[in-house]
A and B are shown apart, each in its own frame.
Chain A
C-alpha cells in the first residue's frame, strides 16, 4: 500500500504546499464504542470459557479411567469400573445400531416430507407446515418415550415377530429363543429391543433431517427448474433431474445431523430398552444399550473412579457426535455454495 503513495504524489511534487498524503484511516472510536467492543469480546470469552471448560474437564476426568483401561476400553463389553473391568464395546455398538435403525426409518420420512413441503404443498400451507415440523423437533423426548413405551411397544411386537419369522435368515434380524411355530410362545423376546428404540428415535430425528433437506431443496435454482419444465418434464422429472441433484448435499448433511442427534438421545431410549452389557447385534431381540442410557443408569451409584469411567464414555459419545456433526455441517455448507450457480 505504501508503494502507491509516491506514485500518487508524483504530479503534485512540483508544488510541495499541497502535497496530498493519504490520511491515516484508523477508527479509534469513542469511549462508549470501546466499552461496547470490550463487553462483546468479554461475552464471547465467557461463552468460550464455559464451552472449553466442559470439553477440557470431560477430557481431564476421563483420562484417569482411560489410563487404567487403555486399549481394552474399546473392546470390553462389561461395565464394572470398580474392579477395573469396563469398556464401551457393548454400549457403543448399541448406540450406533439404534442410530442406524432410526436413520433408516427417518430418511424416507424426512425426504418425503421435505419434498412435499418444498414441491407439492400449496403456498399458503407451507409456512404452517414448516412450523409444524419445528414443533415436532421441540416435542419433549419424554413424551416420545411415553408413546414408545406405552403404545408402540405393544404394536410393534407383531411386526417384529413377522420380520424375524420370514427374514430371520438375515443375521441381524435373527431372534434367539423365538419359535415362530409355537402359537403359545411368549412375545417378551421381541420387547424392549433396539428396533423399537430406533423407531421412537426416528420420529425425533425426522424433523431435524427434514428441515435441512427442505432448505436445500428450496434453494434449487429457479432457472433450471423452469428450463426442465419448458423441455416438457413432469414434476417428478424436475425433482429427479434438478431438485434432488442440487439438494444432494442437503440430503446427506441432514441425514448426518439427524444421526448426530440420534446418537445422543437419552430418555426415550432409556424408557424403552432393557439394558444388556454384551454386544447385541440382533436388533429385533429384547435387550439393547446406549452410552447415554448407561450414564443415566449408573451415575447415581458411581464411585469417584466409576464417575471417571462414565466421563470417558461420555467423552467417547461426544467425540462421535462431534465428528458426525462436523462432517454434516461441512457437507451442508459446501452444497449451499454450489446451489448459488444460477442459470
Chain B
C-alpha cells in the first residue's frame, strides 16, 4: 500500500516538500525518501484523468477494419453470399467479437464485458436514429420530384388525369384542407383542453380525479375508433355531409386527451410556493391562475399544444372515415368533401400510376416538413420548465427590476422627508 502511495507522481510531491521543510531529519530517513523518489525524480507528469485512452480508440478502429476485411473476404472469396443486409449483419457480429478479443489483451473480464455492452447500447441507439433519418430522408428524396414543380403548390387535381406529367396538378386543395381542419380542431381543443387542465389542478377533489381517470383512459382510444364515432354520430345520425368540419371534430376527439394530459403535467410543475405567495398577497383564485399559474407555465403549455398539433396534423385514420376524398379545391369546410395532406398521400399512392405515386410522396414530404417545422418551433419556444427563462427574458426581467428599484428610491426619498417630522 505504501508503495502505491509513494511511487505515484501526484503523491511524491507533497511528501517530499513536507519532509524537507520539517528541518532536522536523520540521514536514513532522508535516504529513504530519496530512494522512494528516484523512479520519477525531476518530472512531475500530470496524470491523465480522461476516460478515453489511446488503446481504446485503437481497439475500436482495429476491430472495425478487421471486421470489414474479414467480411469482405468471406463474401467475395469464400462463400457465394451477395446480400447487403447479410454483409452488415455478419460484419457487425465480427466487429463485436474482434473488439472483445482486442480489449481482452489489456483488460480483465469485467472491463471487457463493460466495453462490449457499451458498444451494443451505442449501436442500438445509432440504429434507431439511422432508421428515423432514413424514413424521413426516403420520403423527402422520393418527394422532391414533385416538389420542384411550382404548380404542385398552386393547383389542385380536379383537371389532372392519371397520365398527365408532374408539371400539371398539385395538392393545393389538400394544403388548404389541412390548414382549415387543424384550425377548427385547435379552436375546439385548445380552450377546452387548457381549461380542463386548469380545472384538474386548481379545483382538486373526487370529481377532478374522476375526470382525470376518464381522460387517461381516453388516450387509449385508437384514432380509427374516434373517426368511427364521428362517422356514426355526426354523419349517419345528424346527417351532416362528409366534410372538413366532421374531420376536424374527429381530430378534436383524438387530440383532446393528448393536449389535456400534456398541459396537466406542465401545470402540475408550477411551484406551489408561487401560488401561495399570490394568495398571501390577497389575490383571488382567478387572478392567481390568470397572472401567476398560466404565465409561469406558458412555454410548457405552448409546447404541449404544438406537439398535440403535430400529432393531429399527421393523423390519417380519423380523417379517412369523415372527410371524404375530393380532387378539387373546396374552401368551405362545412359542405362537401375536403381532402387533407395525409389523406391525399394515402389516396394518391394507392394508384398504380407513377405520376400519382410521385405526387403522393410529394404531399407526404410536405406533411413531414410541416411536422418538422412545428417541432423546431416547439424547441425554440419551449422545453423549459416553468419559471425557467431564456437569456433575453432574464435580461428584460433584470432591467425591469432595476427600473422598479429606481422608481421606489425616487418615491421614498420625499416620503421619508415628510414622515420624519411626524416621527419626531
Q: Do A and B come from one complex?
A: yes
Q: Which of B1-9, B94-102, B129-137, B402-410 lies on the face that meets chain A?
A: B129-137
Interface flag for A325 (CB, 8 Å): yes
Known: A41-B203, A44-B199, A159-B85. A147 touches B135 (CB 8 A): yes
Q: Which residues of B contact A245 (CB under 8 A)?
A: none
B220 and A236 contacting across the interface, CB-CB below 8 Å: no
Q: Which residue of A lies closest to B124 (CB)?
A: A112
Distance between Cα atoms of A65 and B142 in the complex (Å): 44
* Closest-CB distance, B122 to chain A (whole angstroms): 6
Interface flag for B139 (CB, 8 Å): yes
* Closest-CB distance, A18 to chain B (whole angstroms): 28
B136 and A139 contacting across the interface, CB-CB below 8 Å: yes
* Closest-CB distance, B184 to chain A (whole angstroms): 15
A47 and B222 contacting across the interface, CB-CB below 8 Å: no
A311 and B228 contacting across the interface, CB-CB below 8 Å: yes
* Closest-CB distance, B143 to chain A (whole angstroms): 9
Interface flag for B151 (CB, 8 Å): no
Q: Which of A115-123, A172-180, A219-227, A246-254 lies on the face that meets chain B?
A: A115-123
Interface flag for A189 (CB, 8 Å): no
Q: Which residue of B lies closest to A137 (CB)?
A: B311
B367 and A109 contacting across the interface, CB-CB below 8 Å: no
Q: Which residues of A contact B210 (CB under 8 A)?
A: 48
A51 and B117 contacting across the interface, CB-CB below 8 Å: no
Distance between Cα atoms of A33 and B203 in the complex (Å): 11
Interface flag for B208 (CB, 8 Å): yes
Q: Which of A7-15, A190-198, A263-271, A274-282 lies on the face that meets chain B?
A: A263-271
Interface flag for A143 (CB, 8 Å): yes
Interface flag for A166 (CB, 8 Å): no
Q: Which residues of A contact B238 (CB under 8 A)?
A: none
Distance between Cα atoms of A251 and B289 in the complex (Å): 36
Known: A120-B122, A139-B368, A206-B128. A314 touches B260 (CB 8 A): no
A47 and B314 contacting across the interface, CB-CB below 8 Å: no
* Closest-CB distance, A178 to chain B (whole angstroms): 18
Distance between Cα atoms of A48 and B260 in the complex (Å): 12
A143 and B139 contacting across the interface, CB-CB below 8 Å: yes
Q: Which residues of A contact B286 (CB under 8 A)?
A: 32-33, 35-36
Distance between Cα atoms of A147 and B313 in the complex (Å): 19
B220 and A120 contacting across the interface, CB-CB below 8 Å: no
| Size of the chain B interface, CB-CB below 8 angstroms | 93
Interface flag for A163 (CB, 8 Å): no
Q: Which of A72-80, A81-89, A149-157 lies on the face that meets chain B?
A: A149-157
A109 and B320 contacting across the interface, CB-CB below 8 Å: no
Q: Which residues of B contact A317 (CB under 8 A)?
A: 222, 225
Most chain-A CB neighbours within 10 Å: which of B127, B233, B314, B367? B314
Contact of A140 among B114, B229, B314 (CB under 8 A): B314
The A-contacting residues of B in range 261-292, CB under 8 angstroms, are 284-287, 289
The B-contacting residues of A in range 273-303, CB under 8 angstroms, are 292, 295-296, 299
Chain B, 221-257, contact with A by CB distance < 8 Å: what is the 0/1 string? Answer: 1111110110111001000000000000000010011
Known: A203-B131, A321-B222. A117 touches B346 (CB 8 A): no
Q: Which residues of A contact B (CB under 8 A)?
A: 29-30, 32-33, 35-37, 39-41, 43-44, 46-48, 50-52, 54, 57-58, 61, 108-113, 115-117, 119-121, 127, 131-136, 138-147, 149-151, 155, 158-159, 203, 206, 210, 234-237, 239, 260, 263-267, 271, 292, 295-296, 299, 307, 310-311, 314, 317-318, 321-322, 324-326, 329
Q: Which residues of B contact A (CB under 8 A)?
A: 83, 85, 110-111, 113-114, 117-118, 120-125, 127-129, 131-132, 134-136, 138-139, 142, 192-193, 195-196, 198-200, 202-203, 207-208, 210-211, 214-226, 228-229, 231-233, 236, 253, 256-257, 260, 284-287, 289, 307, 310-311, 313-317, 320-321, 342, 345-346, 349, 357, 360-361, 364, 367-368, 371-372, 374-375, 378-379, 383
